[in-house]
A and B are shown apart, each in its own frame.
Chain A
Amino acid sequence: MTQISRDDVLHLAQLSSLELNETEIDGLQTDIGNILGYVEQLSKLDTNGVEPTYQVTGLNNVWREDTVINYGVTREELLARAPESDQNQVKVPKVL
């Protein structure tokens, strides 16, 4: 059975860009451990020489002409949905 520590949970949260609130951490530790324990049963299967299936209908690359598709949406409409914007750009807190 997979043992998930509190530190593992915090590490996974960091990988997932989630700042968990304190009350959720214990529950997630139990649940994630149980779920990983459940899915681990796949290790019993012999998959030697079996190809993985990432795409079920056998599509490979789907090409199209390199032309603009009109999505019927303007820059102004999209910028209007950003929580903060300035001079036609989306504004975020200081990165560096």
Chain B
Amino acid sequence: MTITDIQNQIKATSARAVVENSIKLARENEQYHAILNLTEERALKLADEVDAGKITGKLAGVPFLVKDNFLAFGAPTTAASKMLEKFDAPLQATAVEKLEAEGAICIGKTNLDAFAHGGSTENSAYGPTKNAYDQSRVSGGSSGGSAVFTALNVVPFALGSDTGGSIRQPASFNGVIGIKPTYGMVSRYGVIAMASSTDTIGAFATNVSDVEMVMDIMSGLDPRDMTTMSDFFQVKTDAKPGQKIGLIKDFMTDDVDSDVRAKVNEYVEKLRAAGHTVEEVSLPMAEYALAIYYIIVPAEISSNLARFDGIRYGHRAESVKTLAELYGRTRDEGFVTENKRRIMIGSYVLSSGFFDAYYLQAQKARTLLINEFNKLFASYDLLIGPVAPTTAFKLGENTSDPIKMYLEDIMTVPASLAGLPAISVPAGFSQTGLPIGVQFIGPRQSDADLLALARSMETK
């Protein structure tokens, strides 16, 4: 289902009928547990305003979903945690505001790993989201709910956040397009911070043009997120012909599912047939990227999540006597185990005596990784490879071993650490019928080029 389909439906019926239908579909697919709360009342009120001609814009009346770590009106913003179970946002994220300014209508808040810590949505305090193709398997994550309801055509597009793969991996697991833009392209204001040096805001859709339209609306400078850059995103009419593409061979080893490798290779052949050159390249630092990531990101998490202390908003533990007890009990009750694990790792790598060996060493290793990317981009327009080493795994399969779960991120964290744009594009299905995505990684600010190439390949 595309945005154009929805716009035609609105013309033929009304915005209210279309929004009501999306909400009905969301209810009929409750068993996937993709949504934490609907924003029905507000959505219908906005739909009536569209029908009355009071709201206009490029997306007037088009329903969408947001990951529940975006502050948005109409329902609590929970981050899938008990900490914020009843948190009623006093303002909306810039990304949501910009889409609403074009008339788009948020119909609900989607499930995620609590505070976006995870790769399967199994860390949600409210239970996991099921895969769109097989309900015994994970949706991927952390933006699992948004990916699944985009795949099931409940809405034409949905928003997510990607800190280390949280849009790309669920996009791959559910057969939709997902983009993690260049760091600083889209304002993060009003999105609950996880790791500020890699957090990005992106979108899911079922076709490239819709992703382009949504990113075009969301991108640009925001004085309330000082890392944003002036708007460089401009949709390209056509993909550049005869591109030089590097296939990352470090991501195509025997450790990677053979079905995944086969689909990536098929896609490579299609790129060649379309007149592009694809050569194997090596990114030796990729081997270290996961270790770098799981030092830097927990460090930033331990700092960003210090704000959840039970004082100004959110959950506060009952019948405590001292302030220290209030902090400690509130945080014990409000966080899931994975949140605690990451906060404590962060505290460890930042503590005096360990700082140089872990945190500083990781930031230096990050420079080496960025240097390798820069060297490759001197000769190649973009890089290509799998999104994840596997297709969607079984619910519960990786929950007992955090390292096994972290290994799912091994191909998505390098672009995050370097601030590069990366997209996940459907590349077919495994022999058992599970979706497989291919990942494009480009130099900074090449977002529009990556999408134009993906669009040119859609019918091939």
Judged by a CB distance under 8 angstroms, whether B8 is at the interface is no
A13: B residues at CB distance < 8 A: 328, 340, 344
B331: A residues at CB distance < 8 A: 16-19
B341–A31 contact, CB under 8 A? yes
**Distance in Å from the Cβ of B191 to the closest Cβ of chain A?**
15
Assuming the contacts A20-B340, A34-B402, asked whether A56 and B418 have C-beta atoms less than 8 A apart, the reply is yes
Q: Could you tell me the distance between the alpha carbons of A27 and B38 in the complex, rounded to whole angstroms?
A: 35
Q: Could you tell me the distance between the alpha carbons of A24 and B223 in the complex, rounded to whole angstroms?
A: 42
Instruction: Please report the total number of B residues contacting A with Cβ < 8 Å.
Output: 72
B227–A21 contact, CB under 8 A? no
Assuming the contacts A43-B361, A57-B184, asked whether A64 and B223 have C-beta atoms less than 8 A apart, the reply is yes
Judged by a CB distance under 8 angstroms, whether A39 is at the interface is yes
Judged by a CB distance under 8 angstroms, whether B367 is at the interface is yes
A38 contacts which of B348, B351, B403 (Cβ < 8 Å)? B403
**Chain B binding site: helix, strand, loop or mixed by DSSP?**
helix
In the complex, how many residue pairs between chain A and chain B have their CB atoms under 8 Å apart? Answer: 173
**Chain A binding site: helix, strand, loop or mixed by DSSP?**
loop
A47: B residues at CB distance < 8 A: 361, 364-365, 368
Instruction: Please report the total number of A residues contacting B with Cβ < 8 Å.
Output: 52
A45–B313 contact, CB under 8 A? no
> Could you jot down 27 A-B contacts, CB within 8 Å?
A18-B343, A19-B328, A21-B332, A28-B340, A32-B348, A34-B402, A35-B341, A35-B403, A35-B406, A38-B406, A39-B294, A42-B292, A42-B295, A42-B358, A42-B361, A42-B362, A45-B365, A50-B368, A52-B360, A52-B363, A73-B90, A73-B91, A78-B90, A78-B312, A83-B315, A92-B311, A92-B323
A36 contacts which of B324, B345, B360 (Cβ < 8 Å)? B345
Assuming the contacts A42-B288, A45-B288, A82-B312, asked whether A16 and B344 have C-beta atoms less than 8 A apart, the reply is yes
Judged by a CB distance under 8 angstroms, whether B326 is at the interface is yes
**Distance in Å from the Cβ of B288 to the closest Cβ of chain A?**
6
B227 contacts which of A9, A59, A90, A93 (Cβ < 8 Å)? A59
Closest to B190 in A: A71
A55–B328 contact, CB under 8 A? no
**Distance in Å from the Cβ of B346 to the closest Cβ of chain A?**
8
**Distance in Å from the Cβ of A51 to the closest Cβ of chain B?**
6
B328: A residues at CB distance < 8 A: 13, 17-19
The 8 closest A-B pairs by CB, nearest first: A19-B328, A56-B419, A52-B363, A83-B316, A47-B364, A81-B313, A17-B327, A62-B226
**Distance in Å from the Cβ of B80 to the closest Cβ of chain A?**
19
Assuming the contacts A38-B403, A39-B294, A62-B226, asked whether A20 and B332 have C-beta atoms less than 8 A apart, the reply is yes
A53–B367 contact, CB under 8 A? yes
